[in-house]
Every structure is written in structure tokens, then in C-alpha cells.
Chain A
Amino acid sequence: DQQVKQNSPSLSVQEGRISILNCDYTNSMFDYFLWYKKYPAEGPTFLISISSIKDKNEDGRFTVFLNKSAKHLSLHIVPSQPGDSAVYFCAASVWTGGFKTIFGAGTRLFVKA
């Protein structure tokens, strides 16, 4: 039972355009949602997070939107750059006496120059 789903295995975008990565979840108890970025042969690195009580969080070129009624979040990258080409993992955390974090399967983003 996948509680966090990223239904698009890959996405290709032209440099300078917007990249939109999507994520769906099933557990309404999640407290925080996070996006991690992963380059080949490296570990994931934290990118941006959003609390379940907010609907938007912005950090430079990266914005995360949360739609709780639809149990859906998305990561927008504007403008996209070739260096953004990586695998992006959506993750959701819930406090149960310790944080439990569930990761999605990832979306591979290709930004073409």
C-alpha cells in the first residue's frame, strides 16, 4: 500500500520553462511534506518542505503547493535550468512519538538546454 505516490516516472522540460512535479498521498495524518533532490551516485538532499497547515511555500525558484482536500502536492521550478536535472522524491512525515517518513518512488526530471 503506497501511501505516497508519484505517478510520473519522468518529465522532460525545456530550459527556462516551468517544471511541475506531482505527488499524491493517502494518509490525512501527515504533518509535513518534503521534497528531496537526488543526483546520480549521491544521496538525496533536502529541497523544500511545507506544513500541513499551509497551502504554499516558496524558496527562490522552487514553490511547493499543497491541496489537502485533494491530498495532492506539487513542486514548481521556475525557471528550469539544466542543473535541475535529477530525481525528485516527494516525502511525507507524521509524528508518532518519533517521525515516520514515507517516500514516493521519485520522478526523473530532464531539463533540456
Chain B
Amino acid sequence: NAGVTQTPKFRVLKTGQSMTLLCAQDMNHEYMYWYRQDPGMGLRLIHYSVGEGTTAKGEVPDGYNVSRLKKQNFLLGLESAAPSQTSVYFCASSRLGGSYNEQFFGPGTRLTVL
């Protein structure tokens, strides 16, 4: 089992460019999440999904869009990247019915917007 994988690992964008981050999980988890981690801020939830075809906004959704067309994949899109979106992005998944919602994280994508 690969667990949660993220593509790409690193990316540098210019302001205004667009890109898509891909997250895949092979644990048959219902829930998937996208977080960003910034120094001194911890992990902040961008968007999440409770099942295939459903998405919802988290704490910091502005400037991002997501799609969950397949249960195992969760895509995060930046339509027009801004320097404020420079961050490390983590995808996570968790199973339906867990008592405390243990989340399994991918290795992260380091994004720099110039």
C-alpha cells in the first residue's frame, strides 16, 4: 500500500499561472482533505470531501478549487496563483466511521509563487 501520494513534490509558479495538485489514496477512505502549512500557522484546512462527487470549503478556501471525480483522487487547483499561496500543501484522508478521525497524510507539495 502506497497510502497517500501527492504529485508533484515541488513546483515554482509565476504570479497568474495556474496548476493542479493531485492527491491519490489507496486505502478506500471516504474523506479527503487539502491543508496548507505556513510557518507559525500550523495546518489550515482549504477544502475537504466526504465522498466521491462532493466537496466543501474549509478555513481558507479563497483562490482554490477542488474536485473529487473518483473516490481515490482529490485534486486541488489554483486558477491564478499569487505569492500569498506560497506554502507547503498536504493532502490527507480518513475513513468513514472512525471514532476520532485519524487522518493519513501525504508527503506534501512545496509550492513557490514568484
Interface residues in A, total, Cβ within 8 A? 24
Q: Looking at chain B, what size class is its interface with the partner chain?
A: 20 to 34
Say how far A102's CB is from chain B's closest CB, in angstroms.
8
Q: Which residue, of A43, A99, A103, has the highest number of chain B Cβ atoms within 10 A? A: A43
Interface residues of B in 96-114 (CB under 8 A from A): 99-108
Which of A14-22, A45-53, A67-75 contacts the other chain?
A: A45-53
**Assuming the A-B contacts A41-B107, A43-B108, are A49 and B41 also in contact, with contact meaning beta carbons closer than 8 angstroms in the complex?**
no
Task: Classify the interface of chain B: helix, strand, loop or mixed.
Answer: strand
Residues of A within 8 A of B50 (CB): 98
A6 CA to B90 CA, complexed, in Å: 20
Residues of B with C-beta under 8 A to A41: 107-108
B108 engages A89 (CB within 8 Å): no
Q: Are B106 and A43 in contact (CB under 8 A)?
A: yes
What is the bound-complex CA distance between A43 and B35, given in angstroms? 11
With a cutoff of 8 Å between Cβ atoms, the chain B residues found around residue A101 in the complex are 45, 101, 103
Per the bound structure, the CA–CA distance linking A36 and B101 in Å amounts to: 12
Question: Does B72 lie at the interface of the complex (its beta carbon under 8 Å from any beta carbon of A)?
Answer: no
Does chain B have a CB within 8 A of A85? no
Query: Does B100 lie within 8 Å of A32, measured CB to CB?
Result: yes
Taking beta carbons and an 8 Å cutoff, which residues of A are in contact with B? 4, 6, 9, 31-32, 34, 36, 41-46, 49, 51, 89, 93, 98-99, 101, 103-106
Q: Which 10 A-B pairs have the closest CB atoms?
A: A43-B105, A32-B100, A99-B101, A103-B43, A103-B42, A105-B42, A49-B100, A46-B102, A44-B105, A93-B101
